[in-house]
Structure 1
Amino acid sequence: MPDFEKKEILFRRTLELAKNGWGNTHPNPMVGAIIEEGGEVVSEGHHKRAGSPHAEVAAISNLGRSPIEGASMFVSLEPCSTHGRTPPCVDAILKSGIKNVFIGCLDPNPEHAGRGIKILEEAGISVHLGSKEIQAQATRLNFVFNHNMLKNCPLIALKMAVTKNGMVAEIQGVPSRITEAEARANMMHWRRFFPAICVGAGTVLSDDPSLTARFTAETWCPLRIIVDSNLVTLGSLVPDRVIYTDEFADRTIILTTSHGLSRQDRVSRAKELGVRLVKVAEDETGRAKPDALRSALNQFEMNAVYCEGGPTLARSLLNTGNVDYLFKYRSPKVFDHEQALSGPDFDDFLIKVPITESLGEDHLTHGFL
């Protein structure tokens, strides 16, 4: 049996393997698995996408033979014990003959947690959980999946980049560079993770964003959700926005209200562009209700969204308790123009068990609220 240091290394490798499924496994978790024989890793596997073999099955299949006596499996998440799109992974482990299983963390679903372990142990397999540190890392990796299981609803994440003095634009209505290259690359990394991205009408008008994740070998487009209560982004004097005309236009959806839908000229323009309009509940002022976003995610069968809205949308979501997870990027810059636009007061929102990262001269703090 591997010693503690060796086990930690193998567990960390399962987490690295799990990340190969980054953004592709929703609504399933990211999972990595390793088969170890005599101190050597002989096979690896990870869950690539929903409907494909799970990590444990992939590792067994990739081995191409039966594991030798005494072989061990390391897996980042408790093997599933119920039938879904694929058979239970505990069955595959039992059939493989593996007698030692090391698990990074428990299944977050209260109805399933520990069930896979019990099945394995009752079959005579030795099961071990990772250290507290490994359990914490393995659990945090799948924070979206965990939220879905525990809360039975989609996760809403908010991303905001602010200057040292809390500003989000040097001049209101004009695009401003707040963070530098390393932080912006990190934002792309997170865009690639989420199945949907959301902004408000103000961001569409001022920034004309593409809302895609752009990399050297790939341009990834999640479902793009625009909150535009009055369809101002489709006004006759507004030039065509990128998100309504690019190659991914069919992945753009506008959440609007009865007020917006009463503007026939704007509705007609949406039809001409092929942009889908979805009516949502409105408040007494005629604006889309903050909880309309979560309702829309359920309608679109999306388990999470990455909100990059401006301060208006951000405040609306924060002040009504509709933000589950916060990404706060902070720049050392100071915007002191008289028309500078301030962001939300984040001091009122405590991040639980925050993760902090230095990204060049910028800093990121993220975690559950």
Structure 2
Amino acid sequence: MSKTFSSADEEHMRAALALAEDGLGRVAPNPSVGCIITDRNGVVVGRGATRPGGRPHAETEALAMAGGKAGFGTAYVTLEPCSHHGKTPPCCDALIAAGVARVVIACEDPDPRVNGKGIAALRAAGITVETGLLEEEALELNEGFILKVERGRPLVTLKMATSLDARIATHSGQSKWITGPIAREATHRLRAASDAIMVGVNTVLADDPELTCRIPGMEDRSPLRIIVDSRLRLPLTARVVVGAREVPTWIICAAGGQNRDRMAVIQQQGIELIEIPADNSGLPEIAAVLSELGRRGITRLMVEGGSHLFASLLRADLVDRIVWYRAPVIIGGDGLPVFQPLGVDSLDLAPRFERRHVEAVGEDLVETYYRSQR
């Protein structure tokens, strides 16, 4: 950390990061940003975060709270202030107009419309700008937005709930419930921080899930639901179909060869159909799926099943994180594995991840893995 940053600077930036984190899952296609403003004496006079839907921006919210007290003060922002005209004026212009003397930025914005231009505008106005405070935390928080900008796809997190021996169901198909209620509640919190949940049609056929956030007080945080259903086998009685007018739902199917009458009936339920060219196995090509989701503004995608979808993402090297809930139970080799075959011939070719976190959740264990950088 630069010597120019004080303990108070770090405290304010951590508060800004906490504000940004709370917005995850609600601000796509924009990044989730937090902003703290202090007056000339270092007293906090404004707090703001990107609002649902991506507008207003965090700086605008914080300045509105600060009123006229921001003059000669400091703004702490988790991502470089925007410098382009969109649905709202540039945030760097708002900070300049407010008369702040100093802006501390956690990380720069890779969006080509910004990418250093916000910092340059602030400095040109005579404002002291310092960058890099808690940069790694800020980059991790907005990794989904950054991936969308740089690679055109969302951050992909596999969420798995298995036995100790990585089984998601018994040989008879029973899967409810392998993990306990505390782990299941944690899953709902993960959903709330995601832009979308994606599952394969077999998961819907087997479990008939709602794929919503059902924590009291957070029901409005349910993300978009996406079902990969190459041949439109999803029954109209499925919960995700019945509730499609309350929670936005997309179905991704293979392009060409679909029954147009069947497609029309599904669309009449309030579901959007997305046709993606098929791969050699007849399934929607997974890289093209993610590219289309990125084009539509999805930045954070949680994949909850099933084993075929997990395997296709791993084979394509498109998994960024794994959140693995494991129950203290063993099902055995005749149970359904969490992954279908990957075709790995050599350990050098096996997907590798780094374990970042391990925590007990009731009787279960949750392990968090990130894509290995080696």
TM range (shorter): 0.7 to 0.9
Quote how far apart the aligned CAs of 1:54 are.
1.5
Q: Tell me the secondary structure at the aligned position of residue 364 of structure 1.
A: strand
Task: Give CA-to-partner distance per residue, 1:42-65, whole Å, 9 cap, x none.
Answer: 221111134522211211111122
Q: Tell me the secondary structure at the aligned position of residue 68 of structure 2.
A: coil
Q: Is the 8 A contact 1:179 1:362 kept in 2?
A: no
Aligned equivalents of 2:237 and 2:351: distance in 1? 36
Q: Tell me the secondary structure at the aligned position of residue 18 of structure 2.
A: helix
Q: Tell me the secondary structure at the aligned position of residue 252 of structure 2.
A: strand
Aligned counterpart for 1:255 among listed residues 234, 237, 252: 252
Aligned equivalents of 2:271 and 2:55: distance in 1? 32
| Unaligned segments of structure 2, at least 5 residues | none
Aligned equivalents of 2:309 and 2:240: distance in 1? 18
Aligned equivalents of 1:47 and 1:284: distance in 2? 42
Task: Give CA-to-partner distance per residue, 1:140-191, whole Å, 9 cap, x none.
Answer: 1111111112213344332223332222223353223233333322221221
Amino acid paired to 2:22 = N
Task: Give CA-to-partner distance per residue, 1:35-90, whole Å, 9 cap, x none.
Answer: 21313212211111345222112111111224344x21111111112222211111
Aligned equivalents of 2:70 and 2:250: distance in 1? 49
Q: Tell me the secondary structure at the aligned position of residue 26 of structure 1.
A: coil
Aligned equivalents of 2:70 and 2:251: distance in 1? 52
Amino acid paired to 1:316 = S
The answer on 1:140 being equivalent to 2:140 is: yes
Name the structure 2 match of 1:185.
185
Name the structure 2 match of 1:233.
234
Task: Give CA-to-partner distance per residue, 1:174-233, whole Å, 9 cap, x none.
Answer: 223233333322221221222222111110111110011112013243322211223333
Aligned counterpart for 1:367 among listed residues 365, 370, 373: 370
Q: Is the 8 A contact 1:230 1:259 kept in 2?
A: no
Q: Tell me the secondary structure at the aligned position of residue 139 of structure 1.
A: helix
Name the structure 2 match of 1:317.
313
Distance 1:246 1:57, change over 3 A: closer
Distance 1:224 1:120, change over 3 A: same
Amino acid paired to 1:21 = G
Q: Is the 8 A contact 1:168 1:178 kept in 2?
A: yes
Distance 1:117 1:335, change over 3 A: same
The answer on 1:340 being equivalent to 2:335 is: yes
Quote how far apart the aligned CAs of 1:273 are.
4.6
Task: Give CA-to-partner distance per residue, 1:1-39, whole Å, 9 cap, x none.
Answer: 996221111110111122232322111111111121313
Q: Is the 8 A contact 1:170 1:176 kept in 2?
A: no
Aligned counterpart for 2:322 among listed residues 309, 319, 327: 327
Amino acid paired to 1:153 = R
Name the structure 2 match of 1:59.
62
Distance 1:172 1:109, change over 3 A: farther
Matches within 5 A, 1:120-135: 120-131=122-133, 134-135=134-135
Distance 1:300 1:142, change over 3 A: closer
Name the structure 2 match of 1:15.
17
Name the structure 2 match of 1:159.
159
Q: Is the 8 A contact 2:71 2:98 kept in 1?
A: no
Q: Tell me the secondary structure at the aligned position of residue 76 of structure 1.
A: strand
Q: Which moved more, 1:197-206 or 1:276-285?
A: 276-285
Matches within 5 A, 1:263-278: 270=266, 273=269, 275-278=271-274
Query: Percent identity at matched positions?
Result: 32
Q: Is the 8 A contact 1:198 1:305 kept in 2?
A: yes
Q: Is the 8 A contact 2:17 2:33 kept in 1?
A: yes
Aligned equivalents of 2:323 and 2:257: distance in 1? 31
Q: Tell me the secondary structure at the aligned position of residue 308 of structure 1.
A: strand
Quote how far apart the aligned CAs of 1:92 are.
1.0
Q: Is the 8 A contact 2:198 2:226 kept in 1?
A: yes
Q: Tell me the secondary structure at the aligned position of residue 97 of structure 2.
A: helix
Aligned equivalents of 2:298 and 2:51: distance in 1? 18
TM-score of the two chains, using structure 1 as the length reference: 0.86
Aligned equivalents of 1:68 and 1:271: distance in 2? 53
Q: How many residues align?
A: 359
Amino acid paired to 1:177 = W
Aligned equivalents of 2:52 and 2:247: distance in 1? 22
Amino acid paired to 1:35 = I
Aligned equivalents of 1:298 and 1:164: distance in 2? 34
The answer on 1:282 being equivalent to 2:285 is: no
Q: Tell me the secondary structure at the aligned position of residue 52 of structure 2.
A: coil
Quote how far apart the aligned CAs of 1:315 are.
0.7
Aligned equivalents of 2:305 and 2:100: distance in 1? 49
Q: Which moved more, 1:331-340 or 1:6-15?
A: 331-340
Distance 1:202 1:247, change over 3 A: closer
Amino acid paired to 1:287 = L
Name the structure 2 match of 1:103.
105
Amino acid paired to 1:230 = R
Q: Tell me the secondary structure at the aligned position of residue 336 of structure 1.
A: coil
Amino acid paired to 2:305 = G
Name the structure 2 match of 1:244.
241
The answer on 1:204 being equivalent to 2:204 is: yes
Name the structure 1 match of 2:26.
24
Q: Is the 8 A contact 2:183 2:325 kept in 1?
A: no
